[in-house]
Amino acid sequence: MTEREASTVTGCKGDKTPALLQLEQLLALGLDQRTAETALVNSKVTANLSAVIAEAGITWCDKSVGNLLYAVATKYPSNALVHRPNLINYIVSMKIKNPAQLDAALSFLTNVGPDSLDTGKFEEACGVGVIVSVEEIHSTVAEVLQENMGAILVQRYHINVGSLCGQVRKRHPWGDAKATKEEIEKRLTEILGPKTEVDNVKPVKKKKEKPAKVEEKNVAVAIAAPPSEDLNPYSVFPLPAENNKVHTEIFFSDGNIWKAHNAKEILEKHVMATGGKVITRFPPEPNGYLHIGHAKAMFIDFGLAKERNGNCYLRFDDTNPEAEKKEYIDHIKEIVQWMGWEPYKITYTSDYFQALYEHAVELIRKGLAYVDHQTAEQIKECRRNKVDSPWRDRPIEESLQLFEDMRRGLFAEGAATLRMKQDTQNDNKNMSDLIAYRIKFTPHPHAGDKWCIYPSYDYAHCMVDSFENITHSLCTLEFDTRRLSYYWLLVASGLYQPYVWEYSRLNISYTVMSKRKLNRLVTDKWVDGWDDPRLLTLAGLRRRGVTATAINSFIRGIGITRSDSSLIRVDRLEYHIREELNKTASRAMVVMHPLRVVITNLEDGKVIELDGKKWPDAPADEASSYYKVPFSRTVYIEQTDFRPKDSKDYYGLAPGKSVLLRYAFPIKCTEVIYGDTPDDIVEIRAEYDPSKTSKPKGVLHWVSEPAPGVEPLKVEIRLFEKLFLSENPAELKDWLGDLNPHSKEVVKGAYAVPSLATAVVGNKFQFERLGYYAVDTDSKPGKLVFNRTVTLRDSYGKTGPK
């Protein structure tokens, strides 16, 4: 790119980065010690302050001026940098002299952007030349206090002084805020006199009233409600037509600055092509199965487009043929639909291989790319030492011919790469001449064997965003350092520039989220495939019985933020799963570890057919809300629901004690049959109360023989616990050593009510008193397998919905 071209694109050719600041320089501006030290720690603030001081042309100033200049350095809108010297001149000349005026000026310039500045309107908007006298402030304070006298006499010194100052400020927006506050406090003292003991007592904040406790029935209220989800999570994103602001400043080591933004004609062309719609993309690499972190990306990419009536591409970033498989492509297509999202179009980065190649050739012609022959280790070493490649300054025609030779397959793999000519002295290593093309003699799963050179992700991603007219390029925070390189390529190529915004990765406790680690778990058979229910892959969550609705509700609840240090507790995900399944999973009874109970006062051969509720609030006249439960002479209860010795806090069955069998009758233990040892209980004898006159406290789930001598429906139950023992295993060097050896337990001899015999894969149930379960894909005719989706209680032992 020539100097003239760079100047046209960036509007700032020749800008120079000032020398690094020293603490003494900031103190000379009147900044306090703490503010100055904090500024020097933040490289971005330091760079902005250096530029502001250079534009102001001062070495010292009054504290009030210094504080305003500091505010400019930290708050100035990036889309209006061309007007910053003008604003600084207003501050240094004391035409703008207080924070209120500066805030108004910044607001005005944000709306103006890079367009020409109407000085008259600007000065009117921020009160230049307006003088508010001390007498005017005193007069207005007196008026405001008189208007609020009733509240002042009641609340005395507990009155909200900030509110009173705000009322004065509405009438005199450019008045001295400090003088206003001092006058109000002075007048309050004159009105109220000295403070009393009552005035010195801090008012007690009223606590929110707790809702009245409702008598617990069949449904318990879930504990630990999630954050409020009423706010629109997409409100942080700008409109497409606002995409003329400076996206980012690209600082070069030689002092040059490129200010990346869309020129008016480029933006107009883009808006004409899109109709002003929001266009996003969900761009997974097809090298593995998607996990719950991708669910967050889908929620943001598809969700923003849906909320703004726009479109979202499903684009496969398939630039690495060695890692990509058709299996992964098919899975991603299917799982996106399962999550409830409908792509506008399905595209592949490989669809644009020809266009990407042509742009690479053009960049070589501009002198902004070159063919390199260094090995990967040599490139790494040069980057570390900020040393140029020995082939960086080879002639343009030579690089053009060598790149053509690369395309024709005349070089071996690793013998040559195409690199961008960026800034090898830059502290940001992503600007150190990124590799744009490398040689791979590997057929591509989508493009076939047409190409033996493949673009890198860093080269292709930004350009395809531009080709597809993406308005909002949204990605996780680890790509933040790549933003400079992203915009460098678009500026250098003269292409439309999407708005880039990074958000925090989703990190959840007791699991790993990186594809590399997930691939290791699957490949080395630490788990049973990509859809193992212990993994937080979307396939694993679905197999476990989690719904897409619950996942999206969880994502919405945690919000879209840039805070990258938070570890989300898995309990929050489980909360949303319980909330969803409580509404959608029908109830049934299953006994995990059966203990035989013989009802001695029920005649042989008799079977009483009872009704069990599928839903806690099932209407009495709606047959479909009930399932049939046989009650015969032989029933089974959980082994843990019987104790040889009773206690006050125990509600199960014990010798001489009664319990209620759910939907059936009270039974009373009359005899215990032991095996070879006192701990080996083989059978309980009991009597039932057909009149139901006894009212025992304990209620047990149970399963009965459907007919005399016929074993109940036998099912397999799989119980899943956390896959890792540590809350954050990804931080551990030996993360595989942290795997929980008890993360999966298989119970093969469980008994179920007969109605479950017709359950099919994907059906979900609440097994009363046990948890939520789903039919697993391993189920076969005559052999049902259920996965525990989530317990009825969270990890703190609090009861969720039943």
Residues recognised as catalytic: 285, 505, 515
CB atoms within 10 A of CB 516: 9
Contact 750, 735 (CB under 8 A): no
Look at the block and give the residue holding tokens 């207005």: 140
Classified as helix, coil or strand, 73 is helix
Q: How far is CA 150 from the centre of its chain?
A: 49
10 Å CB burial of residue 225 (0-12, 13-18, 19+) is exposed
DSSP string, 609-645: EEEEESSTT--TT-GGGEEEEEE-SEEEEEGGGB-SS
Paired with 313 in beta bridges are 281
Using DSSP, how many helices (H) and how many strands (E) does the chain show? 25, 27
7 contacts: CB under 8 Å, gap ≥ 6: 13, 14
653 contacts: CB under 8 Å, gap ≥ 6: 597, 637, 641, 642, 643, 659, 667, 669, 684, 686, 698, 700
Q: Is the dihedral of CA 343, 344, 348, 349 positive or negative?
A: negative
10 Å CB burial of residue 14 (0-12, 13-18, 19+) is exposed
Angle, helices 63-75 vs 84-92, to 10°: value is 170
Determine which helix (DSSP H) or strand (DSSP E) holds 670, and give its type and residue range: strand 666-674
Shortest CA distance to 575 belongs to which of 130, 297, 229?
229
Strands 703-704 and 257-260: unpaired
For residues 432 and 425, what is the distance between their CA atoms, to the nearest angstrom? Answer: 7
For residues 595 and 211, what is the distance between their CA atoms, to the nearest angstrom? Answer: 41
Shortest CA distance to 44 belongs to which of 17, 67, 62, 84?
17
Contact 738, 766 (CB under 8 A): no
Determine which helix (DSSP H) or strand (DSSP E) holds 366, and give its type and residue range: none
Determine which helix (DSSP H) or strand (DSSP E) holds 437, and give its type and residue range: strand 435-439
